[in-house]
Amino acid sequence: MEDDVNSIFDRPVRDLLYQKVQRLEREEGHQMGGAATCPRNDSNFSYGRRVPRHVKEQEWNLSSLIQAQEEQRSLECYEINIDPIVRHKLAKLLLLNGVLLDRNPGVYKQLLNYPRAEVELRGDIAKDVDRTFIEYRLFSNGNKGQGMLYRVLAAYAVYNPEIGYCQGMNVLASVLLLARFSEEETFWALTRLMKEYSIEQMFLPGLPGVRRSIEKFNELFEFLLPKLAKHFAKEGIESTMYLSKWFMTLYGSVLPLELVFKVWEEFLATGSWSVLWAVGLSLLHLFEDELLKRPFEGILLFIQSLPLEKLDEGAVLDQTAAFRKQIREAKWAQESLFALLA
C-alpha cells in the first residue's frame, strides 16, 4: 500500500519536506512517529501532540473557531441533531482548542494539490464514498458531503502513506462531518484521532490494533458474560466476525449516530479503550436473551443488523458505565491500546 501511494509523488521533494518536519519536531523535543514518508509541506507544521501549558489553558472560544464557518454550511443537509455541548467537547478534544488548524495554515490545501490521478487507492475511496451513510442527505445523490469525504480521505492517504486508505476510515470521517465539522476540521480531527488515540494501529499492515483489542475483549467477554461466551463458542461464533467492524469504525457503523457521538465523547475524554470494550459488552448483554436462543446463522444475522429501534440509549450508557467499573476493578485488564501493543 505504501509503495502504491509513494510511487506517484516526487520523492526528492517529499523527502525534503519530511526532513523539515523531523527537524522541527526535534527542536520541539518530541517525535510524532507514524509514517516514514509523510509529505507534509509546511515549514511551520506541528502536529501539536504536546501543547504548551499556556495554550492548553486558554479559554476555548466556540465562536472564533466554528461560528465563522457556520454560515458557509447549508444546515439543511444535516439531519442529525447533535447536542451542542457534545459537539463542543468533540471539537475541543480533537482540534486542541483550534491549535491544529491555527498552527498548520494551508497544509490541508497543499495536500489536496498533490496529483492523485494515478493513485490506485482513488478507486477504493470513491467506491466507499458512494455507499457511506447515503441515508443522510449530506451524502446522498452526489450531495456536497461526498466530495468533502473524498477529499478528506484522499488528503489523509497522502499525509500518511504508511496506511494510505483502508475501509472503516470512511465511517470515521463521515461521523465527524455529520457532527458538523468543516472539511478541514474533519481532516485534522481524523489525523489526531488516528495518532493520539492510536486508532491508526487498527489500520496498519496486519491490523495489530484490531488483533490485540479483540484478544483483550475476549478475556473480558468470558469473564463478564460467561454464559453467552460459552454459547458463542459452542456455535462457532468468533469475535472477529463482528468486532473488527465495531472497533475499526468506533461503532459508527452499528449504533445510532446520536449515541455514537456520546460514545466518542467518553472515549476521547478518557483515552481509555475500556470504553469501547464496555460498549461492545453492553450490546451483547442487552441482547443476551435473544442471542442465547439462536444458532450460528441466526447469531450472525442478528449481530450484523442489530434492531436499533429496541436500543435504549440510556440503558446502553448505564450498562457501559457499569462494565467499565468492572473492567477497572479487574487489575489484569489494561485500558491502553499502547500498553496492549507494547
Residue 119, pLDDT score: 55
Per-residue confidence band for 299, with pLDDT thresholds at 50, 70 and 90: very high
To the question of domain 66-197 being in CATH 2.60.120.10, the answer is no
Q: Tell me the per-residue pLDDT of 83-115, one tens digit each, with 9 for 90 and over.
A: 777 778 888 888 876 777 888 889 999 998 876
State how far the Cα of 275 lies from the Cα of 263, in Å rounded to an integer. 8
The per-residue pLDDT for 114 is 79
Q: Look at residue 39 and tell me whether its pLDDT is greater than 50.
A: no
The Cα–Cα gap between 275 and 277 comes to 6
- Dihedral in degrees, nearest 10, Cα atoms 194, 195, 196, 199: 40
pLDDT, tens digit, 9 for 90 and up, residues 117-141? 445 667 889 999 999 999 999 998 8
Cα–Cα distance measured from residue 300 to residue 17, given in angstroms and rounded to the nearest whole number:
48
Domain 66-197 matches domain 208-333 at the CATH topology level = no
pLDDT for residue 336 is more than 60: no
pLDDT of residue 16: 37
Least confident segment among 37-46, 94-103, 182-191, 332-341: 37-46
The third-level CATH classification (topology) of the domain covering 208-333 is: Cyclin A; domain 1 (1.10.472)
Residue 155 pLDDT greater than 80, yes or no:
yes
Residue 58 DSSP one-character state: S
**Cα dist from 103 to 38, 43, 53, 290, 316, whole Å:** 18, 11, 16, 51, 38
Q: Per-residue confidence at 81, pLDDT binned at 50, 70, 90?
A: low
At residue 148, the 3 state secondary structure works out as: helix
Q: Which three cell numbers stand for residue 181?
A: 465539522
Question: What is the model's pLDDT at position 117?
Answer: 42
The predicted-structure confidence for 26-36, as pLDDT tens digits, reads as follows: 443 333 333 33
Give the CA dihedral 173, 138, 158, 70, nearest 10 degrees: -80
Which whole number is the average pLDDT over 166-189? Answer: 94
Could you tell me the residue ranges of all domains in the chain? 66-197, 208-333
203: helix, strand or coil = coil
> What pLDDT score does 79 carry?
58
Q: What is the pLDDT of residue 90?
A: 84
